[in-house]
Structure formats: structure tokens, C-alpha cells
Amino acid sequence: MDRYLDLFLHYLLVEKGAAANTVAAYSRDLTRYLAHLGNREPGDIRPSDVTGYLTRLKGEGIAPRSRARALSALRMLHRFLVREGYCETNPTAIIEAPKGVKKLPAVLSPREVEALLAAPLDTGAIELRDKAMLELLYATGLRVSELVGLKASDVNISAGYLMTIGKGDKERLVPMGESACRHVREYLGQARQELLKEKSSPLLFISRLGEGMTRQAFWNIIKKRALQSGVRSGISPHTLRHSFATHLLENGADLRSVQIMLGHADLSSTQIYTHVTRERLKRLHEKVHPRG
């Protein structure tokens, strides 16, 4: 099956335009699945083999959400094998995804966001860069991979917009907001060239070494700022993305507009934030209503 896996991953990357991180995740899930199957041909795999693998994952303590993700990868692989003529039947067709409690995303309050953005951590060019990155992340709801992958030419400060390429190589325009524009302008005018030293790079945000920022480096910046500002632990760059979407909806934005700004292909991916706002309203009612 290894050669079929290679063909499938190539299909995801080249024909579907899947992001490298997505392809890597599929590769991990499917490599584990094929190891479970052993030396089998596509036409020899039965639904009982798939359910046996999912049962094994459950026995290993894998959460329902992760098992559902694994099944999704299996379904895509087997649909590909049938479509390309490597086998006649799809053993995942009649298997239902594991049921589990839908986990709501962690969201900061507006006050916590202000504390995080205001916390000084460094000085000079590094501080200007970090502030610009944080302000831009909260103002636009970008994925961290999109943020560190921004090119200087992707940002139009005078118009107040940036262009980013999201999942599936889809371009989208996102408004930046006045505060983010101001901080990015200061970074560009006072810090970026200093960080580049004598190097050159098309990327907007530059590390201490004069190269592009990594996702891990930015994650560390957020963790350090959360610690210094007293914001609760466990936040990540995605927490600011969740906060961006939730705060927009709480202040009257429509779901479709938020979907476009987040770059969600399906509106159902954005609807999770309506659950967040409902839960907040419920907690507020319980807290302040005389009969709450």
C-alpha cells in the first residue's frame, strides 16, 4: 500500500493544492493506518478492517475528534483508490464518524486581548515587530502560517487591506484596521531594515537572524507575552484568531462576512463561533439576572 499512499499524497499536494501541513497530517494518519493493515492490496481491505483500526485507536485513548479526523483521511484515501481504478469498493463508505462533544475554541475577552497587546516584552526593533505581528493577527484573524508567510508586498497600508493565500492556495483580501496599520507602518519604517541587516527578503516579518519568522518562534512570543501580561496560560496564535471571530460576531458582524475574512471554505466551519457567543450570553444571564 505504500506506493498508493505516495500517489495519494502527490494528488493532494499537486491536484488539490493542499497545504504542506495538511499533507503532512494526512501522511502521519495514513502511515499508521497502513502499518495496522500490514501487507495488503486495496481490493483486500474490508469495512471490518477499518472499524478494527478505529477500535484500536479508541483503546489507545485517542479522543473522538482525533478518531474522526483519522477516519476522514481514510475516506479520502479510499475514494481516491476507487476513482483511480485501483479497487472497486470503498470500505469506509458505510462507517459513521465517532461521536464526541464538540469542543468550543478558547477565546480571550476584549480586556485580555488589550492586556496581551499592551505587555512590553522587548525593546527596539524586536518590540516593534512583535507588536505589529500581534496587532495584525488580532485585527485580521489570520492563521499563524499565513501571518509568518506574508510578504511585504502583500500589505497595502494606505488602503488598509492585506492579501493572503490560505488553504487550498486561495487568495483573500482582509481589512487590517487602523491600529494594525499604524503598528505595521512603524515596524516597516523603523525596524524591518534593521532586522534584515544587509540581507534581503520578500517576507514582511523578519527574525533576529535577518530571515523569515517561523510559526514556533511566534508561538513562543505569544506565550511569553501571556505570562508577562497575566493573561491565562495555554493560549496560542489560534486563540487570537478565535477571539477575532467571536468579537466580530458579538459586535454585530454577520456570519458570512466573518467566514470570508477567516478564509473558511464552508460556512459550517464558521458556525462554531455562534456557539461561543451563545455560551457567553448564557453565562452573562446566569451571572447578572435576578433569577439566573
CATH code: domain of residue 75: 1.10.150
pLDDT at position 163 over 90: yes
Range of the domain at 251: 110-287
Number of independent structural domains in the chain? 2
Average pLDDT over residues 196-223: 92
CATH number at 128 reads 1.10.443.10
Predicted local confidence at residue 233, as pLDDT: 62
Task: Quickly list DSSP for 81-115.
Answer: HHHTTS-S--TTTTPPPPP-PPPPPP---HHHHHH
Note whether 122 and 70 are same-domain residues: no
Predicted local confidence at residue 104, as pLDDT: 62
Note whether 38 and 169 are same-domain residues: no
Domain for residue 98, yes or no? no
Q: Which residues are catalytic?
A: 143, 167, 238, 241, 264, 273
Chosen domain end from 65, 83, 101: 83
Distance CA 221, CA 206 (A): 14
pLDDT (tens digit per residue) in 225-269: 888 888 876 788 888 888 998 888 888 888 888 888 888 877 777
Note whether 158 and 207 are same-domain residues: yes
pLDDT (tens digit per residue) in 57-109: 999 998 888 888 899 999 999 999 999 999 999 999 888 877 655 566 788 88
Note whether 68 and 167 are same-domain residues: no
Distance CA 60, CA 107 (A): 30
Is residue 176 within 8 A of residue 162, CB to CB? The reply is yes
Is residue 108 within 8 A of residue 61, CB to CB? The reply is no
Chosen domain end from 27, 48, 83: 83
